[in-house]
Amino acid sequence: MAKQQENMGMDSVLKEKRIFKASVQFSKKSHVPSMVAYDKMYKAAEKSPDKFWGDIAKNFFWFKTWKKVVNWKNPDAQWFIGAQTNICYNALDVHVGTWRANKAAIIFEGEHGDQAVYTYSQLHREVCKFANVLKRRGIEKGDRVAIYMGMSPQLMIALLACARVGAVHSVVFGGFSSTALADRINDAKAKAVICSDGVSRRGNVIDLKKVVDDALVNCPSVLNVIVFQRSNNAVSMVEGRDHWWHELAALASVDCPAEKMSSEDPLFILYTSGSTGKPKGIMHTTGGYMVYAGYSHKHVFDIKDEDVYWCTADVGWITGHTYVTYGPLLNGATQVIYEGAVNYPDWGRIWDIIERHKVTILYTAPTAIRSFIRAGDEWVNKHNLSTLRLLGTVGEPINPEAWIWYYNVVGKKKCPIVDTWWQTETGGIMISPLPGATPMKPGSATKPLPGISVSIVKKDGSPCKANEGGFLVITKPWPSMLRDVYGDRDRFVKTYWSDIPGAYFTGDGARRDKEGYVWIMGRVDDVVNISGHRLGTSEIESALVSHEAVAEAAIASRPDEIKGNSLVAFVTLKSGYHGDSDLKHELQNHVVKEIGSIARPDEIRFAEALPKTRSGKIMRRLLREIANGNMNVSGDTSTLEDFSALEKLRVHDDE
Ligand code: PRX
């Protein structure tokens, strides 16, 4: 297995023996209170999946019920066949008809400290108004709408309004560049863009509308841009194309019936990186995604009406789709939404928000946890965090020492931690403790949720032995599985359904211990995980090669104490160019311009040649070893074309 990353803390993961359990009081009150209850649920789902998922789906509102729970012919699945529903109706209308009408759905805090609360009925009104705005702008069922905004209630309103009218949303994270935004808009042929004028980030206003304007020079499909005024930065409005959100919403009615959607109608597209080519548009549909978002959010976060839940993810990523926008609202929860950086103006901001809003459940990324460890315990200890009862992590492996710090210093040894493994493609959490039931082992995502069948296998699909590393696959269909790569069925089949016979291939390596606990070992393809964000090495390489000075580029990653991994770019230059520090900066900035700051290489190394096999393939394994400072490159180098290329790369020539 060509293992992409040796994730930090992997050695200690292999030695990890500690086990932690929720308190008896926690377990007693939780939705799944014991391993006996978990096993019972798991077996019931295994024995008759149709009954298991059908019973869960009955907790949702359907305009029309299903004829059959699932149709499965690898790789195609349809869930809740013949049924009609609307996820926005389930997220809002069902609560507005109950005592939850005046319950807080969103407690918003801006980076400057401004606050707003939206009850379920207020949120419902705003969503209905904006849904009518979309209709007036000619948006119809099935149309794609791109969304490019900072974290705000309006971002959620935009998604929910699309869902209400049956439009397919495609959210692009506000940190992506105009080129990346244009690529995504064009791939989906979006008819409209919803954006904000700007967003606050560490005290600066990022001019989002300007990025949209730059992108739209090359996007002929976009007829309307709706701009939410958030930061009051100067923007230019294109006559006939651009409209202010508040002006259109002021004219819109609060009455907007939810569109009846077939269970398999597309709900959203979300672009994510793969090992080859451009990012792929992962497509999710309505009924199955809704059922799984609600089910997984309820059980993994043990959500109750009295909870104040806070997931720090941006809605631009899948975590912000399933566990900010849809999951919490489907469960009628109260949640905190925060606009800015969690360490601005200082390292106490996150703890201050938890204290002031009395947060009970915190869900964040290992990268953030590691940076808080470095900042020092005093920032945490200044605050009263006694309301916290459950902690969660997502997006990358958590090293046991960071887990223990989170458990001791933040959770004061009383909060279970749910280490949740999943992907953009899975739509929802697949492997995680159920906090009242599963004994936790730091660094392990533990066991699959009831209804989810995972296996660790060799290349031929045969199962690995206990503790043997292999490929992580999912062997049975689940409701929120991706249905397609938008517009590229071949890529869908090839990427996920061709490598391992009969199963969905995750792209991750893993092992399972004797007690059935899954330990994720990281990506086995050319995807890297930087601060919990997923990037394809080939995307960054193409960005580098698009610079006039670059002949060839190859990206390798190496472990980073805070970010999990950092990026090293090996670059060969065209003749006439000199590899100096100015050019290094220029290339770093070029990648930021092409993709966004998350893809900025941490280091650029100029080389005369890249190590290649005789058939011309770049030997990435060798580059990885060199990036990791390994001078004695191991393994088979017999196919290497020019050994001197390797010798030169080993010497880190700073200039
Ligand atoms: O490698 C795994 C890692 O993140 C990848 C999925 O990235 P993305 O689609 O951006 O979704 C991130 C948020 C769900 C996976 O293939 N990953 C995610 N969660 C974990 C993880 N690795 C280890 N432990 C996790 N809990």
Q: How many Cβ atoms from other residues are within 10 Å of residue 238's Cβ?
A: 10
Return the ligand 1 atom nearest residue 533 CA: 10
Range of the domain at 138: 87-259
> Is 161 in the same domain as 298?
no
Please name the residue whose Cα sits nearest to atom 14 of ligand 1: 423
Percent of the chain with pLDDT over 90: 88
- Mean pLDDT calculated for residue range 210-226: 98
Task: Please write the tens of the pLDDT for every residue from 146-191.
Answer: 999 999 999 999 999 999 999 999 999 999 999 999 999 999 999 9
pLDDT at 1 over 50: no
Please name the residue whose Cα sits nearest to atom 8 of ligand 1: 423
What is the C-alpha separation between 314 and 149, in angstroms, rounded? 10
Q: What's the confidence (pLDDT) of residue 4?
A: 35
Centroid of ligand 1 to alpha carbon of 497 (angstroms): 19
Centroid of ligand 1 to alpha carbon of 117 (angstroms): 31
Please name the residue whose Cα sits nearest to atom 12 of ligand 1: 395
Domain final position from 522, 544, 564:
522
Residue at 601 is within a domain: no
- Tokens coding 501: 């016979």
Centroid of ligand 1 to alpha carbon of 423 (angstroms): 5
Centroid of ligand 1 to alpha carbon of 532 (angstroms): 7
Residue at 588 is within a domain: no
> Is 216 in the same domain as 298?
no
- Mean pLDDT calculated for residue range 508-525: 95
> Is 236 in the same domain as 378?
no
Pocket of ligand 1, candidates 474, 534, 537, 565: which has the most ligand atoms within 8 Å of its Cβ, to mutate? Answer: 534
Long-range contacts (CB closer than 8 Å, 24 or more residues apart) made by 203-210: 203/111, 203/344, 203/345, 205/231, 205/233, 206/150, 206/174, 207/233, 207/235, 208/148, 208/149, 208/150, 208/174, 209/233, 209/235, 209/236, 210/235
Task: Please write the tens of the pLDDT for every residue from 254-265.
Answer: 999 999 999 999
Strands, sheet with 361-364, edge to edge from the N-terminal-most edge strand: 115-119, 104-109, 334-338, 308-311, 361-364, 390-394, 417-420
Please name the residue whose Cα sits nearest to atom 26 of ligand 1: 421
Task: Give the bridge partners for 556, in sequence order.
Answer: 568
Q: What's the confidence (pLDDT) of residue 2?
A: 37
- Tokens coding 86: 């609307």
Centroid of ligand 1 to alpha carbon of 574 (angstroms): 37
What is the C-alpha separation between 216 and 238, in angstroms, rounded? 11
> Is 472 in the same domain as 455?
yes
- Tokens coding 578: 């000199």
Centroid of ligand 1 to alpha carbon of 422 (angstroms): 5
- Mean pLDDT calculated for residue range 240-258: 98
> Is 436 in the same domain as 327?
yes
SS3 30: coil
Nearest to 203 by CA among 104, 30, 349: 349
Centroid of ligand 1 to alpha carbon of 523 (angstroms): 9
CATH classification at residue 115 = 3.40.50.12780
Q: How many Cβ atoms from other residues are within 10 Å of residue 276's Cβ?
A: 15
Please name the residue whose Cα sits nearest to atom 25 of ligand 1: 421
12 — pLDDT class (breaks 50, 70, 90): low
pLDDT at 13 over 90: no
- Tokens coding 207: 């001019």
Kind of pairing between the strands at 417-420 and 361-364: unpaired
Pocket of ligand 1, candidates 16, 520, 523, 539: which has the most ligand atoms within 8 Å of its Cβ, to mutate? Answer: 520
Nearest to 368 by CA among 385, 391, 390: 391
> Is 391 in the same domain as 457?
yes
Nearest to 302 by CA among 429, 413, 405: 429
Kind of pairing between the strands at 192-196 and 144-148: parallel
Centroid of ligand 1 to alpha carbon of 421 (angstroms): 6
Please name the residue whose Cα sits nearest to atom 5 of ligand 1: 423
- Tokens coding 502: 């009969």
Q: What's the confidence (pLDDT) of residue 634?
A: 53
Is the CB of residue 219 less than 8 Å from the CB of residue 173? no
Task: Give the bridge partners for 393, in sequence order.
Answer: 364, 419
The total of structural domains in the chain comes to 2
Centroid of ligand 1 to alpha carbon of 295 (angstroms): 19
Q: What's the confidence (pLDDT) of residue 536?
A: 92
Residue at 145 is within a domain: yes
Phi, psi angles (nearest 5°) of residue 262: -70, 150
Residue 607 DSSP one-character state: -
- The secondary structure element, H or E, covering residue 418 is strand 417-420
Centroid of ligand 1 to alpha carbon of 612 (angstroms): 30
Residue at 442 is within a domain: yes
626 — pLDDT class (breaks 50, 70, 90): confident
- Tokens coding 621: 């394994």
- Total number of residues shown for the chain: 655
Return the ligand 1 atom nearest residue 506 CA: 16
> Is 203 in the same domain as 254?
yes
Task: Please write the tens of the pLDDT for every residue from 37-77.
Answer: 999 999 999 999 999 999 999 999 999 999 999 999 999 99
pLDDT at 101 over 60: yes
Ligand 1 contacts (CB < 6 A) are 272, 318-319, 394-397, 419-424, 445, 506-508, 520, 523, 529, 534
- The secondary structure element, H or E, covering residue 128 is helix 120-136
Residue at 499 is within a domain: yes
Centroid of ligand 1 to alpha carbon of 522 (angstroms): 8
What is the C-alpha separation between 143 and 208, in angstroms, rounded? 23
Is the CB of residue 507 less than 8 Å from the CB of residue 499? no
- Mean pLDDT calculated for residue range 450-460: 97
Residue at 528 is within a domain: no
Residue at 570 is within a domain: no
> Is 393 in the same domain as 441?
yes
Task: Please write the tens of the pLDDT for every residue from 550-603.
Answer: 999 999 999 999 999 999 999 999 999 999 999 999 999 999 999 999 999 999
What is the C-alpha separation between 459 and 494, in angstroms, rounded? 15
Residue at 527 is within a domain: no
Centroid of ligand 1 to alpha carbon of 209 (angstroms): 30
Q: What's the confidence (pLDDT) of residue 199?
A: 96
270 — pLDDT class (breaks 50, 70, 90): very high
> Is 81 in the same domain as 92?
no
- Tokens coding 106: 């969103």
Domain final position from 473, 497, 522:
522
Residue 109's alpha-carbon distances to 200, 350, 361, 579, in angstroms, are 12, 11, 17, 45
> Is 247 in the same domain as 284?
no
Return the ligand 1 atom nearest residue 527 CA: 1
277 — pLDDT class (breaks 50, 70, 90): confident
Q: Tokens 């863009």, residue? A: 193
Any idea which of 14-28, 326-340, 576-590 has the lowest mean pLDDT? Answer: 14-28
Domain final position from 234, 259, 284:
259
Please name the residue whose Cα sits nearest to atom 15 of ligand 1: 423
Q: Tokens 């311009």, residue? A: 593
What is the C-alpha separation between 201 and 112, in angstroms, rounded? 10
619 — pLDDT class (breaks 50, 70, 90): confident
Nearest to 169 by CA among 230, 127, 118, 106: 127
Q: Tokens 């991750």, residue? A: 508
Average pLDDT, the chain: 94
Pocket of ligand 1, candidates 423, 454, 537: which has the most ligand atoms within 8 Å of its Cβ, to mutate? Answer: 423
E strand intervals along 131-209? 144-148, 168-171, 192-196, 199-201, 204-206
Return the ligand 1 atom nearest residue 420 CA: 26
What is the C-alpha separation between 80 and 83, in angstroms, rounded? 6
Q: What's the confidence (pLDDT) of residue 6?
A: 38
- Mean pLDDT calculated for residue range 291-318: 98
Please name the residue whose Cα sits nearest to atom 18 of ligand 1: 395
Return the ligand 1 atom nearest residue 520 CA: 23
> Is 207 in the same domain as 311?
no
511 — pLDDT class (breaks 50, 70, 90): very high
Region of residue 467 (left: phi > 0; alpha: psi -120 to 50; beta: else): left
Centroid of ligand 1 to alpha carbon of 508 (angstroms): 9
> Is 93 in the same domain as 73?
no
Q: Which residue has the higher pLDDT, 466 or 10?
A: 466
Centroid of ligand 1 to alpha carbon of 406 (angstroms): 19
Please name the residue whose Cα sits nearest to atom 21 of ligand 1: 396
Q: What's the confidence (pLDDT) of residue 653?
A: 41
